Amino acid sequence: MTQYTLTLLDTTGIQDYIFASNRLQENIGASEIVFRATTLWAFKALDEAVEGKHNIKNGGSLDWDFDKDKHIEKNEDIQAEVIQAAGGNTVVLFREKAASRKFVEKLTFHILKEAPGLTILAQHNDKFEFGEKEARLHAALKTLREDKMKEHKLSRRGSSPLLGLGVTAICDSTGLPAITTLGGKWQGQPLGLRGEDDSRLISAEAAAKRGWRKHANEHLNRILKNAADGFTFPYNLDKLGRNKGEESYVAVIHADGNRMGERVRAIGEQATDDRDFIKKLRDFSRKIDIISRSALEVVVGLVVQAVNHDDIPFVEDLDEDGEEIARKYLPFRPLVFGGDDVTFVCSGLIGVSLAVAYIEAFENAAKTQKVEDFHASAGISIVKMHYPFARAYKLAEELTASAKTLNRDPKPDCSAIDWHFAQSGLSGSLEMIRHKEYTLADKQSKLNLRPLPLSAGTKSWQTVKGIMSTFNKEWADKHNKVIALREVLRKGNGHFVHDYLQDFDLLKKKLPEIKGIGEEIQTTGWQGNQCYYFDAIELLDHYVALD
């Protein structure tokens, strides 16, 4: 039986690379670089390594696709077959071991030139036997990912970039040696934006990221089919919109599909042979792309609608690249997209609304694609406009992990969200922060309900949303009194809320009703050791409903 070389590429530390800078335009360019490194650049390297004898059509275009008729086990002219190229991973099956090494060499050289600071790792199985009567590929990939690649990541020597010799100017974004200024160019692309200081020094890594920001916008508009409707996706956080005279907040949202590993494992177990596994894996990846893109289109449409109805502010200004053209900047910006893993940033007023809208659209698109019982979870960090962006993303990622605790086995799968306001610097894990800020002195009573499932129930997003709606409608003239309830609720379960309402002659109003819980909670705010109103009140000034 013929032996092939199975090669796995893994972009290690993707999130650290993308969010290493606090400048949005560099995060945008870094995301585009990661996408290209594992797709278009990889296809170019493959083209050179096997002289075009592979299965990728239009490999230099965003419209690339697999040639379904080119199977390496059936056609001896095919020297390499790309099995998968998604989510920061690329899997290629080579006929010859030498071609796999040449491919990695070509790609590495290209990345060193085009993407300083990005690290891609490769691992090979040089004795893979294609299973024509049984499924072997799934097990081989699992071994590459979970054994060889994991061991390689742990044992490899860390990168130690030369941080300068003698007198060295330092880049503000990365702390690495500067190679140029914002007045310069990278691969022909201008680096600075209108209004930036052209003399500011930047490193090769920051320059490369800035150089790809325009391509990132073109890529985004292409996959979203220009859903922005005349608006421009901003490169700068200051263009996300703000209310004049008010302190502005931005929201960083990280959303992720639930139980993806289980679904891929099920594909491997159900496959009759390796060709069947490849077909099913590609079909699943394609459906995931369609699902996430459809969900993003829905979200963009909601933002455009909200801006047009004056529900949220937007910025109108000259083009950021220096052209004398007036632009309307959408207060929303996807950063990582494609596959089930999505990150976007937006005005803090709509962060939670958009996260919920994305998950609901994700579920609906999954049903359309006949991917059964597919859910997602999201974390939303709401921070001040110039809060360190990398920290805001880390918090969003941790919040997503918190939301996913609601659907871990043996619990049934469900969509969930978690959010947090970072008013100042964070110290410690999310668990520690919650214990310190939302747990009372008795160490049992909790102010927060989060994380929350989207489904109905007493402890759910629908409950929090209903409480906010009642406060906005029936307590509109008592807004400050509602906000002050936070400090009263901090005193715990007892007569404190009742006394507060009595002092301000509000007993007739009571707190909003919660279905499934008795009336007593409307004068205490608590049921046992759980407060049901604090989350809603805390979110009240940072939430605009978009439905």
With a cut of 80, say whether residue 156 has pLDDT above it: no
Q: What is the dihedral of CA 277, 279, 281, 282, to 10 degrees?
A: 160
Tokens in use for 28?
């945008």
- Indicate whether 147 belongs to any domain: yes
For residue 167, the model assigns a pLDDT of: 63
Residues 384, 418 within the same domain: yes
Residues 292, 418 within the same domain: yes
For residue 153, the model assigns a pLDDT of: 82
With a cut of 70, say whether residue 163 has pLDDT above it: no
For residue 89, the model assigns a pLDDT of: 84
Spatial contact of 366 and 339, defined as CB atoms under 8 Å apart:
no
Residues 51, 119 within the same domain: yes
d(CA 298, CA 122): 37
With a cut of 60, say whether residue 244 has pLDDT above it: no
Q: What is the CATH number for 373? A: 3.30.70.270
Residues 6+ apart with CB under 8 A from 240: 234, 248, 250, 315, 329, 331, 332, 333, 345, 346, 347, 385
For residue 165, the model assigns a pLDDT of: 67
Q: How confident is the prediction for the chain on average, in pLDDT?
A: 91
Q: What is the dihedral of CA 269, 410, 362, 236, to 10 degrees?
A: -110
The mean pLDDT value for 408-431 works out to: 84
Cis bond before residue 410 (omega within 30° of 0): yes
- Indicate whether 14 belongs to any domain: yes
Please count the other Cβ atoms lying within 10 Å of the Cβ belonging to residue 178. Answer: 20
Long-range contacts of 13-19 (CB under 8 A, 24+ apart): 13/119, 14/88, 15/393, 15/397, 17/117, 17/118, 17/119, 18/335, 18/336, 19/389, 19/390, 19/393, 19/394
- Indicate whether 500 belongs to any domain: yes
Please count the other Cβ atoms lying within 10 Å of the Cβ belonging to residue 441. Answer: 8
The boundaries of the domain holding residue 37 are 3-155
- Indicate whether 148 belongs to any domain: yes
The mean pLDDT value for 408-425 works out to: 87
The least confident of 11-20, 46-55, 68-77 is 11-20
With a cut of 70, say whether residue 219 has pLDDT above it: yes
With a cut of 80, say whether residue 12 has pLDDT above it: no
Q: State the pTM of this model.
A: 0.93
The mean pLDDT value for 406-416 works out to: 90
pLDDT single digits (tens) 177-191: 999 999 999 888 889
For residue 238, the model assigns a pLDDT of: 85
Number of domains forming the structure of the chain: 4
The least confident of 240-249, 277-286, 456-465, 512-521 is 240-249
Residues 375, 479 within the same domain: no
d(CA 395, CA 506): 38
For residue 183, give the amino acid letter: G
With a cut of 70, say whether residue 243 has pLDDT above it: no
One DSSP character per residue, 331-356 reads SEEEEE-SSS-EEEEEEGGGHHHHHH
Burial track 93-132 (b if 16+ CB lie within 10 A, e otherwise)? bbbeeebbbbbbebbeebbeebbbbbbbebbbbeebebbe
Residues 360, 495 within the same domain: no
- Indicate whether 316 belongs to any domain: yes
Q: What is the CATH number for 102? A: 3.30.70
* pLDDT band for position 110 (cuts 50, 70, 90): very high
For residue 383, the model assigns a pLDDT of: 92
* pLDDT band for position 246 (cuts 50, 70, 90): low
d(CA 86, CA 292): 13
For residue 326, the model assigns a pLDDT of: 82
For residue 154, the model assigns a pLDDT of: 82
With a cut of 90, say whether residue 461 has pLDDT above it: yes
Residues 117, 187 within the same domain: no
For residue 322, give the amino acid letter: G
* pLDDT band for position 234 (cuts 50, 70, 90): very high
Q: How many CA atoms lie within 13 A of 486 on its CB side?
A: 15
* pLDDT band for position 53 (cuts 50, 70, 90): very high
d(CA 530, CA 346): 31
With a cut of 80, say whether residue 363 has pLDDT above it: yes
Spatial contact of 536 and 467, defined as CB atoms under 8 Å apart:
yes
- Indicate whether 433 belongs to any domain: no
Residues 81, 59 within the same domain: yes
Residues 379, 406 within the same domain: yes
User: Where do we find the tokens 């994380």?
Assistant: 451
Spatial contact of 220 and 320, defined as CB atoms under 8 Å apart:
no
Strand extents, DSSP E, 35-174: 56-57, 65-66, 80-86, 89-94, 120-129
Residues 399, 485 within the same domain: no
d(CA 441, CA 443): 5
* pLDDT band for position 316 (cuts 50, 70, 90): confident
For residue 524, the model assigns a pLDDT of: 94
Residues 242, 335 within the same domain: yes
With a cut of 70, say whether residue 259 has pLDDT above it: yes
Q: What percent of the chain has pLDDT over 90?
A: 68
d(CA 110, CA 378): 35
The mean pLDDT value for 491-512 works out to: 89
- Indicate whether 249 belongs to any domain: yes
With a cut of 90, say whether residue 325 has pLDDT above it: no
Phi and psi at residue 310, to the nearest 5°: 60, 25
Please count the other Cβ atoms lying within 10 Å of the Cβ belonging to residue 462. Answer: 16
Residues 334, 475 within the same domain: no
d(CA 281, CA 278): 5
Q: Spell out the SS3 assignment of 293-308.
A: HHHHHHHHHHHHHHHH
Count Cβ atoms within 10 A of the Cβ of residue 158 and give its class: 0-12 exposed, 13-18 middle, 19 or more buried.
Answer: exposed
Spatial contact of 43 and 64, defined as CB atoms under 8 Å apart:
yes
Residues 6+ apart with CB under 8 A from 541: 483
- Alpha carbon separation from 9 to 77, 299, 459, 476 (Å, rounded): 24, 32, 42, 56
For residue 121, the model assigns a pLDDT of: 92
- Indicate whether 83 belongs to any domain: yes
Residues 405, 484 within the same domain: no
